[in-house]
Structure 1
C-alpha cells in the first residue's frame, strides 16, 4: 500500500499541540501484519525486568507515525533510565526553572539565545509549529542551565524536537534529563571530543562489518573526503531520513541507546550500496555528476524501503554487541586523548570540567566498559605506531 499524506479532515489526535501534521506521510500497517502490541504489553515487560524481550518488541512492532501509543511509550522508555543524577526531573522542577530563567511561563515571542552546545545549522524542527519551535528552544535552554557541563551536543536539539511531536513540554524536558544523565547506556554525547569519537567509531565498525558498502564509498572519493562524509553520519539520520523512518528509529533508541544510531548509519550504507552499484542506477548517475556525498544525501531523503524493512536491515547486521561497540568507542577515545596530549593540541574541546578533572560522562564511559574491556600489554613502539597511523 502506498504511503498517504494526512489531510486536514483525517488528522488523528495523537500529536501534541505543537505540531502541524498536514504533510506528514503515513505508512499504513500491512493488512496481513500481526496485531501491534499495546502500552500494557510494554509496561508488563518493564515491570518484569524483561528488557531483552522489550528490545525485540520495539524493533518488530511497526507502529505508524499516527499511532496513539507514543505519548505514553516514549516517557515510559525514558523513565527507566532514571538515576540519582536525574534529580533535575522532579515534578515541578522544569516550570520552576522556566520562571527563574525567563521570568514567566509564557512562551517568549522573541528568539531565545540557545546554549553554546547547540549547532545552529542543525536546529531541525520537523513538523513543529512556530510555538513548537519556541518550546524546543526553551527546553534546550533550561537543559543547558541545569547541566552546565554539557560542552558540545548538537543532537540534543533534534531529539528534543522529535519528542515534542508526541509529548508535553515538561515531559520532553524530563525525558531529555534521563537521556543526558543516563549511567548504564550512552544516549547523547556531550563533548566535542566524544562527538568526534562517534564518527570515527562508525567509520571503523562500518569498514569491518559492512565492508562492501564501505569500500564502495571509499572508491568514489579520496580518504579525506570519505572522512568528511563519515563526520556527518548523524545527519544522514536526523537531516536525511524521512520522518516515518526517524520515528521508528527513535522508538528503539529510547530503549537501547546510541548503538541504534550506529546500526542505522550502517543500514543506510548497505541500502545505498545496493541501490547505487548498478551503472543504470539514478544514484550512480548522481555520484558521477555531483559526488558520492550528494548521492548519499539524495538517497537518504528518498529512502526506497519501508521503516520496518529498514530496521530489519539495521538489526540484521551481525557482531555488533553493546560490549564490542563500547570497546571500539573507548579505544578510539583513548587514542584521540593520547594524540591530543602528545601533540599538545588545544583544538579539541577536552572532556574536562573547569577544574581539569574528567567530567561525569567520561567517568560513565569508563565504568560502562570496565567489565568488558580487556587491556593487552603491547610494546611501546606498537602503541606509538597505532597512534601515529590512526
Structure 2
C-alpha cells in the first residue's frame, strides 16, 4: 500500500545493519539454542512457505480452496521459538506469506504419523466476487462502520485515506454481513488495517475468517470483551499490584482505563514494533503484552 520510497512506512523499516548488531549481542547460550532449533526443520519448511503463492488476485478467483497443513506439537513449539528469535525488517518479503502460513497450520499430537502432510483444505467462506459486490454496494456508506468496530479508536497506520482506509471499511462490512453473530470485536479493525499493508483485500478477508475460526479475536460480543478486560485487570493485579495501586489513585474512571488496554498496543505502539509483536506472540495473547507495558 506504500510504494513511495519517501513514505513513512518505508522510512520505518528496521535497518539490516541494526539486525546484525542485535545478533552479535546474543549470548553463546542463545546462539546455541537457536542453532539447536534449526537442526530439524527451518522456518520455510515448518510453514510450507516454498509452496505458497497469492491465493486471491481478482474476482475471478471464486471460492479458492486453500490447503491446511498439520504440524506436530514439537515442531509447533520449535516454530514459536524461531519466530520469537528472528527480527525481520517490516518490508521483508517473508511477511507477504507469513500470516497465511501460520493461520493455515493446525496442531496434532506428536504421536500421530505423517504430521507434515497436508490433510485437508478449506474453501474460503467469502468469495472474491462477493467481496467485490459488497465493496461496490457499500462504498457509499463509508461513514457507517459495523457495530463491532470501536469508532473512537480507528487505526490505519500508513494506509492512505482514499484507497487503503476505504478498503478496510469494505473488508469489515463484508465480514459483518457474513458473520452477523459477531456484535462487538474491537480488535478486528486494527488487525485488518495492519494486514492490508502486506495482503490484498481478498487475502485479508480470508485471514480474518481464520482468526475467527481459531478464536483469536479477544471475543465476539460485548459480554466476552468485558470478560477479557476483567481477566486483564486480575492478571495485572497479580503480577504488578503496585501498578494497580497507582492506577486506582490517579484515575477516577478506572473501568474506562482498563477497557482501553487494547489501544495501548494497537494505537500507540510504533508500527515496526507492532508488526514484530503480532508475529512473535499473536493476536490472541495481546493482554500479556499490555501487562508488560504497564510493568
Q: Same fold (TM over 0.5)?
A: yes
SS in 2 for 1:33: helix
CA distance, structure 1, for counterparts of residue 127 and residue 218 of structure 2: 20
Q: Offset of 1:114 from its aligned partner?
A: 2.3
Larger radius of gyration: 1
Q: 1:193-342 alignment to 2 at 5 Å?
A: 193-218=223-248, 220-221=249-250, 224-254=252-282, 257-259=283-285, 261-270=286-295
Q: Which structure has greater strand proportion? A: 2
Distance change in 2, residues 1:240/1:44 (3 Å): same
**CA contact under 8 A between 2:168 and 2:189: conserved in structure 1?**
yes
Pair 232,88 (structure 1): closer, same or farther in 2 beyond 3 Å: farther
Return closer, same or farther for 1:88/1:228 CA change in 2, 3 Å cut-off. farther
Counterparts of 1:84-95 in structure 2, within 5 Å, are 89-90=124-125, 93-95=126-128
Question: What residue is the counterpart of 2:150 in the other structure?
Answer: 119
1:124–1:238 Cα change, 3 Å: same
Change (3 A) 1:242 1:99: closer
Distance (whole Å) between structure 1 residues aligned to residue 4 and residue 163 of structure 2: 19
Deviations 1:244-298 (A, max 9, x none): 11111111344xx522x1111111011xxxxxxxxxxxxxxxxxxxxxxxxxxxx
Q: Is the 8 A contact 2:10 2:91 kept in 1?
A: no
Gaps of 5+ in 2: 25-30, 50-68, 108-120
Cα 1:194–1:110 shift into 2, 3 Å:
closer
Mapped contact 2:103–2:211 kept (Cα < 8 A): yes
Q: After the TM superposition, which segments of 4 or more aligned residues of structure 1 sit over 6 Å from their partners?
A: 34-38
* CA RMSD after TM alignment: 3.3
Name the CA distance, whole Å, in 2 between partners of 1:162 and 1:65: 11
Question: Paired residue for 1:285?
Answer: none
- Tell whether the 8 Å contact from 1:81 to 1:179 is kept in structure 2 after alignment: no
More relative contact order, 1 or 2 (CA 8 Å, 6+ apart): 2
Aligned length: 243
Distance in 1, matches of 2:146 and 2:159, equals: 20
Q: Is there any run of 5+ residues in structure 1 with no aligned partner, and where? A: 1-5, 12-18, 271-390
